[in-house]
Amino acid sequence: MIATTRTATPARADRFDRRTALPIFTKSLSDGWRSVVGWSIGFAAALSLYLPIFPSMSGNSQMQDLIDSLPPELTRTINYQQIDTGAGYTQSTFFGLMGFLLISIAAISWGAAALGGDEESGQLELTLAHGVTRVQVALERFAALTLKILALVLVALLLILFWNGPAGLDLDLGNLVVTCLLFGGLALVCGSAALLCGALGGRRIWGIGGGAAVAVIGYVFNAIGNQSVDLEWLHNLSPYYAAFGNSPLANGTDAWTVVLFYAAALVLGGLAALTLRQRDVGV
């Protein structure tokens, strides 16, 4: 029976605690899964409120009369021109409005917290004093942000597929998948902008401001560009329009548009890493 509680001079050959691969990434995920579950519940609530009532909207001429009686500027702003089809309805109510709002808020709050919020709270200082590089910390957190957003996108995809039959949406699976990817890509661009601005300013509020600017300006430019031919050039400045302007749920999209969003997010994430590398942290 050995009862040594303490070794005076522990031999170097002793057993060491096992280490996790990608420690920052796995930590971000283990810290963030509750939040993902919370936002998923929000998605489920939104989709289960909107989608089941589609049959009563589409076959209903009174509903179309109501929409026709609204000012055209309003219907253009909220993209309600095509809600008589399942694709148009799902696009307008979820991807273009409620879902966009929810996933943008989630992505921006995660992105802003990942570097800016962590530095503001004072915890980033201690992390960076350990055996990691700043680029590694930024990129692993960007990867975790991407995975969390894609998890939400998957939840949305599965919920919409669930309602597709019962609500008579008649959605094309391929178009739904690319629309979900665009939806996630748009959110990831907002979240990466928040990550970058948080890395620049070292404060959560910088990240929230930067991410919200991308989301809100994208939405507003799309809405204003919808109003008249003279203002359509604003569409070129709107990530929101780039994702949804061509009604991908009805028409599909080309692969390049999808790639563009994820490439842009990657560039923003890389810039966040380079920014963090240059800065004085925690001052």
Binding site for another protein (CB under 8 A): 5-6, 9-10, 14-17, 19-20, 23-24, 27, 31, 121-123, 125-133, 136, 280-283
Least separation, in Å, of the C-beta of 31 and another protein?
8
The smaller minimum CB distance to another protein, of residues 5 and 62, is found at 5
Least separation, in Å, of the C-beta of 41 and another protein?
19
- Residue 146 in tokens: 């991407």
The smaller minimum CB distance to another protein, of residues 188 and 276, is found at 276
Least separation, in Å, of the C-beta of 16 and another protein?
4
Taking only Cα atoms into account, the Rg of the chain, rounded to an integer number of angstroms, comes to: 23
User: Among candidates 43, 70, 79, 58, which has minimal Cα distance to 247?
Assistant: 79
The smaller minimum CB distance to another protein, of residues 4 and 61, is found at 4
The smaller minimum CB distance to another protein, of residues 230 and 280, is found at 280
Least separation, in Å, of the C-beta of 123 and another protein?
5
Least separation, in Å, of the C-beta of 34 and another protein?
9
In sequence order, what DSSP letters do the residues of 231-275 get, joined into one string?
A: GGGGGGG-HHHHHHTT-HHHH---HHHHHHHHHHHHHHHHHHHHH
The smaller minimum CB distance to another protein, of residues 14 and 65, is found at 14
User: Among candidates 242, 272, 23, which has minimal Cα distance to 142?
Assistant: 272
> How many other β-carbons are positioned within 10 Å of the β-carbon of residue 205?
14
Residue 142 φ then ψ, to 5°? -65, -40
Tell me the three state secondary structure of residue 281: coil
Q: In this structure, are residues 25 and 127 in contact, taking their beta carbons and an 8 Å threshold?
A: no
The smaller minimum CB distance to another protein, of residues 65 and 280, is found at 280
Least separation, in Å, of the C-beta of 36 and another protein?
15
Distance from C-alpha of 135 to C-alpha of 131, rounded to nearest angstrom: 12
Q: In this structure, are residues 215 and 188 in contact, taking their beta carbons and an 8 Å threshold?
A: no
The smaller minimum CB distance to another protein, of residues 255 and 283, is found at 283
Which residues touch 112 (CB under 8 Å, ≥6 apart)? 194, 195, 197, 198, 204, 205, 206, 207, 208, 211
Least separation, in Å, of the C-beta of 207 and another protein?
18
For 202, left (φ over 0), alpha (ψ -120 to 50), or beta?
A: left
